[in-house]
Chain A
């Protein structure tokens, strides 16, 4: 972003990578898939790079409003300095926070989730699925990230993408607004679970496995981790792959 500004350009859209997308090895692959798609469609975008900072979401969910607002204010200062208007993010938690919670602190942006962006690119004909054979007839089930679905009512964009792949979309028994959560959100990712009889991600993976999928698709780096762990736990990692919707598209578009 700093480079763009030096050249006097303001890119159309900012790609908010998020902490997971920047640091987590698995999530970095999602980041790259998104970038490939953006490049392919010749989208004029930029990232903040080292100037990006945690949105403060986990702090807010953990009840620490101070830390959250400090982070938010810092980020808003950076975003406003670059005159950012549009943001796309690959993480539903960043998405929710940037979209819903920054406005009360003076940060007003047009924020979309990468599944929404990719879907509109496909609908506008800017992105072609070149190789439909990759996923043709494969069974894909979609796990709704809480902060995308229930929290923000985005249910259809990721599903339409899967259908575009000519794949068979199978719903789990708990889906959409009834979707069970993966185990990571609300800052749970960062601590041990309270005592109980089962880990949530195991329960959710069982839901997914009931549909006998070839792929489990999701739209969130944290869900991805939790489901991947769940699959490992069920010793199914050879037959079932957990992929982000961006990766599905990037694979099929042969990027």
Chain B
């Protein structure tokens, strides 16, 4: 009884804290500008199923894809097991679903056990990839400190978690073998794929009371770890487990070459080009909130950009395919996403403390991302194409660039020349427009 109570209080506290963090993230994402992605529902659903659920884009690199898939499926199926743990924990029962599900129960738990073993193998492989093989994309400067620890921490948690699962099932199995199973005195076996062998192997020498304790340790360790992990998610790159789904659903479905049109500019250009327009006329519809051109801080980006930032898995596929980064330039699209997230967290917390309109005087542009990084981007879309969860670092880069150019007039001098040429003679080079057809008359 007291165990049930502790369980109830502990889960309630963990779930409560988790919800609080989710709300915070939701609030932060909604600091972004409006963007309508409510169209094309069927296509969106399809994208989500393929990219997030089916992990389509992961498979361009088969080895990590298979390993990651093991972890992913294990995670999804193990969540099912949590249902029973909760039911047992709150009601004080033991393996509540076993009697009603019968052999299907044996199948499900066996399935979970096999997956757990696969996940364990994947975990060791990942740990060695990250720490022994020195894969370049895990060693870059933005991956020092917390991001590196974050990447490893989950793998350690996974190992401990799997140990708890097998302690629980293994001890239970031996108890059953000894005729000391919960609520029955006949000896038998659960017939779970792994623990029916592993249990006797590990725990045969223990007494029944020790086995009871072990089983409890496994059970409690398992659920406590899961609940703690849940609360660790919002602080970690592993938040993508949840956000990958909405983030791919709201993907940009246009051709990648298309950059967003800036309505605010269109209106001004129309005014300039239309001789009959009366610049002093009152606009027909009230003009929306005055907005600067381009983005200086996270609040100038769209909510989708911000959701992207929270979804980023820090895998570095974008950076490892970025021509600027490959050739040693400062730019790393992964860093752009990580900066956006860090800045958003910082600003969100600040606004939470000091009120909605408070400003801390810092900004994404300048304090986090430098001009040099921005100008190194070639707009080649490789990063967008690579990202396994359909993140678009390029649109953030372009919006920051627009701010540099249109609000601050900070343009590298050669580009300024190019722009003047376009404005004056309709071509990026200094040629006279009257020479445009010369090619037709040369031999």
Binding site for B on A (CB under 8 A): 17, 19, 21-23, 28, 31-32, 35, 47, 49-50, 52-54, 56, 58-67, 69-71, 73-74, 96, 99-101, 104-105, 146-147, 150-153, 177-178, 180-181, 183, 185-200, 203-204
26 sample A-B contacts, Cβ–Cβ < 8 Å, listed by A number? A17-B439, A19-B427, A22-B431, A23-B435, A47-B440, A50-B434, A59-B418, A63-B403, A66-B269, A69-B262, A70-B269, A74-B273, A100-B257, A101-B259, A146-B379, A147-B257, A151-B255, A151-B256, A152-B256, A178-B321, A186-B379, A190-B418, A193-B327, A193-B376, A194-B375, A195-B372
In-complex Cβ contact of A63 among B323, B404, B442 (8 A): B404
Report the bound CA distance from A62 to B266 in whole Å: 17
- Chain B: minimal CB distance from A11 (Å): 15
Q: Which residues of B are found within 8 Å of A73, using beta-carbon distances?
A: 269-270, 273
> B421 CB to closest chain A CB, in angstroms?
8
Q: Establish whether residues A65 and B423, one from each chain, have CB atoms under 8 Å apart when the complex forms.
A: no
Known A-B contacts A63-B404, A65-B406; A53 and B426 likewise in contact (beta carbons under 8 Å): yes
Residues of A within 8 A of B429 (CB): 19, 23
A100-B257, A187-B415, A194-B375 are known contacts. Are A63 and B423 too (CB-CB below 8 A)? no
User: Does B291 belong to the interface (CB within 8 Å)?
Assistant: no
Question: How far is A159 from B377 in the complex, measured between Cα atoms in Å?
Answer: 28
Query: What is B's interface to A at a CB cutoff of 8 Å?
Result: 60, 254-259, 261-262, 265-266, 268-270, 272-273, 293-294, 321, 323-324, 326-331, 372, 375-382, 384-385, 398, 401-406, 411-412, 414-415, 417-419, 422-423, 426-429, 431, 433-440, 442
Which chain A residue lies CB-closest to B329?
Answer: A196
Q: How far is the CA of A35 from the CA of B331 in the complex (A)?
A: 40
Give the contacting residue for A188; candidates B60, B378, B382, B405; CB below 8 A: B378
Within the assembled complex, what's the spacing in Å between the Cα atoms of A3 and B428? 27
- The binding surface of chain A is classed by DSSP as helix
Which residue on chain B has the smallest CB distance to residue A192?
B414
Of B257, B261, B418, which one neighbours A187 at CB under 8 angstroms? B418
* Minimum Cβ distance to chain A for residue B259 (Å): 6
B414 contacts across to A, CB distance below 8 A = 190-192
Q: For residue B324, which residues in chain A have a CB less than 8 angstroms away from its CB?
A: 194, 196, 200
When distances are taken between beta carbons in the complex, the residues of chain B under 8 Å from A32 are: 439
- Point out the residues of chain B lying under 8 angstroms from A204, CB to CB: 323
Q: Which residues of chain A have C-beta atoms less than 8 A from B272's C-beta?
A: 70
Bound CA–CA A185/B259 (angstroms): 14
The answer to whether B326 and A203 have CB atoms under 8 Å apart is yes
| Contact between chains at B419 and A54 (CB < 8 Å) | no
A22 to B60, CA, bound (A): 40
Report the Cα distance A23→B323, complex, angstroms: 28
